[in-house]
Amino acid sequence: MKIVFIENRYKTKLYEAIARRLPSSIEVYWLVQNHSFVPKTKNIYCIPYPSKNDLSRTSLADCSLNLIIQSDRQQNFFKKKGKGYFHYYYNQIKEYLEDIMPDFIFGESTAFHELLTIEVAKRSNLIYLNPSTCRYPKGRFSFYKNDSLEPYKGSNEVFDNEELSNIISGISSRNTIPDYMNNTTAALKINLKNKIILTSAYFKGESYNTPNPFVKKLIERRKRKLIRSWDNIACDRLPENSFLVLYPMQMQPEANIDVWGRAYRNQTDTIIQIAKQLGKGQTLIIKPNPKSKYEINEELIDFASKSDNIVLMDHSVEMKEIIQHIDLVVTVTGTIAIECILSNKPVVTLVETLFNKSKNCVFLDRIKELPNIIMNVTQGTFPVNKNIDMHAFVSLMTKSSYPGIISDPLSDRRCVDSNNITDLVNAWLHVIEYS
């Protein structure tokens, strides 16, 4: 049995902890893009940083990589010039994987080298799995196929009705929050050390996942200015006597919208499209992510300020303060969908996922169909979940996931605790059917 782990900065430490506990009969290989995060083990395939000659010799004829390029955070947010490195890395990854011929590949679906590895895996019929939090139930994760939100296998655990009811109550009341919202390692000293490591890596040649520090400084300054501009025209109260459609913005860059929700990654365009479908007496409420990054721009603020049917909410407004007054929620792939499902709030997603197995979470194939959804809500014909439906949905989430926290030790030290590693190793062995 051969498996490959794809380096992803500090998450590589988690993968190392898992690999150390796997049976010796499982051959573990490593594919490394950032040379500052090479694991201290064997079977390392470290991709050389490309030279100018490497990039000039690279063919750009392979148009099938365009979707990956469109999802790349360096291209979209950090003004990275040139695209030849995508094809250089694709060829290197392909060569390494052909040499290893692994049974399974494990990595995120975030960074460009991971997305390229997924593309190689698809073309070579290799199994690529992305271990990532399933958001709810808390303390669990799923292995997602390639760059999708489709779970691969699962624990098939069955919770009793009392436990299911407690999970539903905690989520619907917003007393339970996903693991990724727990910032347990936020020490200034650690963040400073992280910046030094990443900046050093950049000047050593890793300029493909790591932004130019001077460009990033300017972008961060612009981000803060945009947040101030947003809050200057935002409200802290909802309008009255109107049908309220909520669009909660998703933080970017982030795989859950840049990759999984690729078709709707331009959130400004999505918001404009939604607003155009609203009729008289209907208002689009835009709630910013409490940790806004680069998804806010001048075009969105300008459009909203000139629109009679759009209200921007202040960053200080919490979801629990407004959600009960909202009539319909529209999201791309947001966690809000699960919370709506378990509190019977009408919700539509713009990407089809496991969430749409629930009656009151409808997949909206085209935004132009939104008026029909609104009519169903106003007429009381929008699907409603019963308790048994909610239990079935949480059971589905549980069966398709495994106990364990997937993170990196910089963000959440709990991920490398011995008990958590035991849970993760058991999940890995189950998913590769090792016995």
| Residue 214: predicted pLDDT | 95
Task: Render 155-213 in DSSP notation, one character per residue.
Answer: ------HHHHHHHHHHHHTT-S--GGG------HHHHHHHHHHHHHHHHTT--SSSPPH
Q: Which domains does the chain have, with CATH numbers?
A: 2-178+402-434 (3.40.50), 234-393 (3.40.50.2000)
Going by C-alpha positions, the residue among 170, 122, 112 that lies closest to residue 145 is: 122
CA atoms within 13 A on the CB side of 289: 18
63 band by pLDDT with thresholds 50, 70 and 90: low
Between CA 278 and CA 298 the distance in angstroms is 22
Sheet holding 310-312, edge to edge: 310-312, 282-287, 243-248, 328-331, 347-349, 361-363
Task: Supply the pTM of this predicted model.
Answer: 0.94
Provide the H-helix boundaries in 204-297: 213-233, 255-258, 267-276
Q: How far apart are CA 154 and CA 156, in angstroms?
A: 6
Residue with structure tokens 């009539």? 327
CA 333, CA 356: separation in Å to the nearest integer? 11
Tens of pLDDT, residue by residue over 282-325, are 999 999 999 999 999 999 999 999 999 999 999 999 999 999 99
Q: Given this model, what pLDDT does residue 75 score?
A: 95
Say what the pLDDT of residue 192 is: 80
In this structure, the number of other CB atoms found within 10 A of the CB of residue 237 comes to: 12
pLDDT band with cut points at 50, 70 and 90 for residue 187: very low
pLDDT at 35 over 70: yes
Beta bridge partners of 311: 285
pLDDT above 60 for 156: yes
How long, in residues, is the chain? 435
